[in-house]
Amino acid sequence: MPSLKDLKTRIESVKSTRKITKAMQMVAAAKLRRAQDAAEMARPYTERFNAVMGALAASVGDSDSAPKLLSGTGKDDVQLLVVMTAERGLCGGFNANIAKLAKQKAAELKAKGKTVKILTVGKKGRDAMKRDFGSLFIGHIDLSDVKRIGYADAQGIAKDILGRFDAGEFDVATIFYAKFVNVVSQIPTAQQVIPAAFDAPEEGDAASNTLYDYEPDEEAILADLLPRGVATQIFAALLENGASEQGARMSAMDNATRNAGEMIEKLTIEYNRSRQAVITNELIEIISGAEAL
Amino acid sequence: MAETMQFDLVSPERSLMSAQVKSVQIPGADGDMTAMPNHAPLITTLRPGILTVETEKGTEEFVVTGGFAELGEGLSVLAERALPKGDVDQATYEAMVDEAQSTYNQTKETFKNEPGPVDDAAKLLSDMVAVGTHIGLSPKQPSL
């Protein structure tokens, strides 16, 4: 049985752990607000962009001259998986869930005989994938110095990916990230970015019936916009990821704080009980000593 | 009262302006144009330049660097980067020119024998430099 002193140190240490997790939870809550705002701000751009691209892509369609970014290379032999995770841990299953989905997909593709290449964004994903798929890594992008994700960061990643695409290193690129639903639920998502997949505008939709003039011509615009589309999608995914990470950390830390509270209660009861036992013991000794006289 | 149309200026990071406007001058890839209400539907890409918005209350100017504009019911400009003109100082401007310069240098390296992309990058660079003259900053000379 642990001594009184041991118990007391345990209680103290759990108390300071609780203080830390509580603080982390509050920091995450504040950061979550900011991350959510950022994601919200980016939404109009992404929506408009996809609407216009959808209309454009539909009008250029499957013509032979369509840019490769849209129509693909005609093969799907070499697959690039871009795994985007957080730079830090202590956020529940956030990193593990994304890595799990990516691993599943990688294994599936390998079983089909495709070549898989992996590009990681964020340290934690890299660590998680290293054991099983370390040999497939072709690069890593470190965002640990980035305090606030800006469009320029997304552009950097997009540039890297597009450069590899132009060099013919892969045929299909898919990004993995967690979609933010709410604080307790973030859904790991896989999204294909190359060749670009846009939702075709619905029939009868006002926008799809408008006949646009294009300046310069449609294909020049497409060629200009498709690389931007990749950057936009990555940017949106990074922001979602940012919000998800903070949300996951917040609920993980909330749980940790609660667990610490429970543990303190249990330990306090044990402490009181053993203190009582010591007192009873001393009394018995005194009484039996007095009786012996 | 003059006719107005809905105008939105959004960059990936935030929405800069959303208002009823009388006309907007767009630095289009093929030349400047002024969009007024009831313009024919049009999609154009942007070159770096100044976007002038005329509202009932006066005019506002923004520096935009690439992106595209969609003219339909209203006008939405999706700029890669957009800043109110007043926010652009010499340092910001020079950083933007430097970026265009390095893109140009890179393109020149990559496409040695293809004039197409190199010319495009050179044009982007000179447009970027011209922006400086327009907003009254001392233009930074590019090396072409």
| Res A102: pLDDT | 92
The domain segmentation of chain A, as residue ranges, is 22-201+213-252
| Res B118: pLDDT | 73
**Nearest beta carbon to residue B12 from set A45, A215, A225:** A45
B29 plus B99 within the same structural domain: no
According to CATH, what is the number of the domain A22-201+213-252? 3.40.1380.10
Residue A280 three-state SS: helix
Yes or no, beta carbons of A228 and B67 under 8 Å apart: yes
B17 plus B56 within the same structural domain: yes
Does B123 map to a domain? yes
State the nearest Cα–Cα gap between B94 and chain A, in angstroms: 17
State the nearest Cα–Cα gap between B11 and chain A, in angstroms: 6
Half-sphere exposure of A68 (CA within 13 A, CB side): 13
Beta-carbon neighbour count of residue A15 at 10 Å?
Answer: 14
pLDDT (tens digit per residue) in A221-254? 888 888 888 888 899 999 999 999 999 999 999 9
Sheet hosting strand A185-194, strand order edge to edge:
A137-141, A115-121, A78-84, A172-182, A185-194
A226 - beta bridge partners? Answer: none
ipTM surpasses 0.85: no
All residues at 6 or more sequence positions from B140 whose CB lies less than 8 Å from its CB, including other chains: B93, B94, B97, B98, B129, B132
Yes or no, beta carbons of B72 and A207 under 8 Å apart: yes
Mutation target vs B (from A49, A60, A215; most B CBs, 10 A cutoff)? A215
Q: How far apart are CA A58 and CA A39, in angstroms?
A: 28
Q: What is the mean pLDDT of residues A271-287?
A: 95
Q: Which residue of A has its CA nearest to B78?
A: A45
| Res B143: pLDDT | 67
Q: How far apart are CA B129 and CA A179, in angstroms?
A: 40
Does B141 map to a domain? no
Task: Say which residue the tokens 């990074």 belong to.
Answer: A238
Yes or no, beta carbons of A224 and B68 under 8 Å apart: yes
Does B144 map to a domain? no
* A220 inside 8 A of chain B by CB: yes
B10 plus B81 within the same structural domain: yes
| Res A201: pLDDT | 52
Task: Say which residue the tokens 């907003």 belong to.
Answer: B135
pLDDT (tens digit per residue) in A183-208? 888 999 998 888 877 665 554 444 45
Does B139 map to a domain? no
Task: Say which residue the tokens 């997909």 belong to.
Answer: A105
B10 plus B79 within the same structural domain: yes
| Res A268: pLDDT | 96
Q: What is the pTM of this model?
A: 0.84
Are residues A187 and A181 in contact, defined by beta-carbon separation less than 8 angstroms?
A: yes
Half-sphere exposure of A43 (CA within 13 A, CB side): 8
Are residues B47 and A224 in contact, defined by beta-carbon separation less than 8 angstroms?
A: no
State the nearest Cα–Cα gap between B45 and chain A, in angstroms: 6
A241 is catalytic: no
Domain that holds residue B81: 5-85
- Per DSSP, B81 falls in state S
**Nearest beta carbon to residue A213 from set B8, B29, B40:** B40
| Res A143: pLDDT | 85
Q: How far apart are CA B65 and CA A33, in angstroms?
A: 29
Are residues A28 and A254 in contact, defined by beta-carbon separation less than 8 angstroms?
A: no
| Chain B contacts to A (CB-CB under 8 A) | 8, 10-15, 28-30, 40-45, 67-68, 70, 72, 76, 78, 80-81
Q: Where do the H-state alpha helices sit in chain A? A: 4-60, 68-71, 94-111, 123-133, 151-166, 206-209, 218-292
B125 plus B68 within the same structural domain: no
